[in-house]
Amino acid sequence: MWALCIGALVFVSITHWLYRWRNPRCNGKLPPGSMGLPLLGETLQFFAPNTSSDIPPFIKNRMKSYGPIFRTSLVGRPVIISTDPDLNYFIFQQEGQFFQSWYPDTFTEIFGRQNVGSLHGFMYRYLKNMVLNLFGPESLRKMLPEVEQVARARLQQWSSQDTVELKEATATMIFDLTAKKLISYDQEKSSENLRENFVAFMEGLISFPLDIPGTAYHKCLQGRERAMKKLKNLLQERRANPRKEQSDFYDYVLKELQKEGTILTEAIALDLMFVLLFASFETTSVAITLAIKFLSENPLVLKQLTEEHEAILKNRENVHSGLTWREYKSMTYTFQFINETARLANIVPGIFRKALRDIQFKGYTIPAGWAVMVCPPAVHLNPAKYEDPLAFNPSRWKGMETNCASKNFMAFGGGMRFCVGTDFTKVQMAVFLHCFLTKYRWQAIRGGNIVRTPGIQFPNGFHVRIIKKDATHEST
């Protein structure tokens, strides 16, 4: 009898718990959706690999069932997913008032609890200004010749090889340049390869958080530990042997750390350095690889882009002089091309925030404490905003602003957290394309297929043969 009563009580408790899981409390009306399985939610469906260039199946199927705003649960957290341009804009504009930056535990464990994406208010603005000191327009103007020199040297090197895996090659190129500007790191003079610690990151960054050997998440954490140890050792060496003049970002950081009453700590500085190293090379190398893939598939776009860059050479008084800032700013079609690449690439599958209070929007309530995920692919591939959205058409940006965020374009974020590295990314892409298209042609050898998990991966790489053009500058 007692066993029967206990069993009934357990059954009632579990049933009540399941009901509460599927029907969370809310002071209003929650957006429609499913919370999935208890604790697990719909995490497995969200991370399921797909090869589509369209809106991810997880998002697209739920948009059809529930509309542009819906609820789910990911890695144990209730989440409102927004594909609504108006809600997205509201979220970005209300940073610090109704919403604040938030990322899943996997992200904060990998990038550090005090990474720039997880900090708010004055501390975030302080770090943002630090980064702009390195990657702002004035610094980039001075850096332009070095970016061009690196691109030319690497292309010359690659043209002597039978094939080049473009994603890995461009990632190494950008990492070496960024590491030099940040910490004066030179791979050729170092006893260990710092970038190897970042290799598994894209797989583990947005992955199921299982910290057991063999998983992408575990490899990611191991890579972080090794990289952080290296960065800390470099910082300690620099402290022991300070330089008279500031030559890299570490010098600037050390100067800030030594200021009386500084709010910067060594832990925050190291997390910042770690994030900058990863973000600079990973996203830009993916964008460059996709850009070349798109050019391979769109000969008319290639022709128009090549003509713009060859015109820059023809209009120079000295054909052997380097790229100038004025020439860079004149690359109108190139910037349209970069925006179109970013729109279709959707390198960032989701931008996360957390509601600071109950928020009413279009008849729905977003409860305080819930995560909100803005979904850029659903905005960038919306046929109501972009005609034939899956077509690669840089000319669609003609006459439009190509250097800011809007309700319908958020490849570089939005609001006060608009990516501070956007200009650095565009400089690297534009300069690389200039050097590549004016002096070389290429043949796609193998690979190039994409898998989203939900981040972008090239499971078979993208292998190309790079060939120096002859005197007639023949096109691909």
Q: Which residues are annotated as a binding site for heme?
A: 419
Give the tokens for residue 321: 């002089």
Strand-pairing partners, residue 41, are 37, 74
Beta strands in 269-404 (DSSP E): 351-355, 359-361, 364-366, 371-374
Q: What are phi and psi of 94, to 5 degrees?
A: -105, 25
Q: Are 33 and 66 within 8 A, CB to CB? A: yes
Can you tell me the distance from the alpha carbon of 37 to that of 70, in angstroms, rounded to the nearest whole number? 16
Distance between CA atoms of residues 355 and 371, nearest Å: 6
Total count of residues recorded for the chain: 476
Helix and strand counts by DSSP (H, E) for the chain: 17, 12
Whether the Cβ atoms of residue 273 and residue 231 lie closer than 8 Å to each other: yes
3-state secondary structure labels for all residues of 426-472: HHHHHHHHHHHHHHEEEEEEEECCCEECCCEECCCCEEEEEEECCCC
Helix (H, G, I), strand (E, B) or coil at 365: strand
Known binding residues are: 419
Question: Any idea what the Cα angle at residue 218 is, between residues 115 and 210, rounded to 5°?
Answer: 95
Phi, psi at residue 442, to the nearest 5°?
-150, 160
Closest among 50, 130, 15, 154 to 450, alpha carbons compared = 50
What lies within 8 Å, CB to CB, of 25 at 6+ separation is: 367
Cβ-count burial of 262 within 10 angstroms (0-12 exposed, 13-18 middle, 19+ buried)? exposed
User: Which residues, other chains included, contact 12 with Cβ-Cβ below 8 Å and sequence gap of 6+?
Assistant: none
Query: How many CA atoms, within 13 angstroms, populate the side-chain half-sphere of residue 462?
Result: 28
β-sheet bridge partners, residue 82: 69, 374
Angle 422-439/299-314 helices, nearest 10 degrees? 90
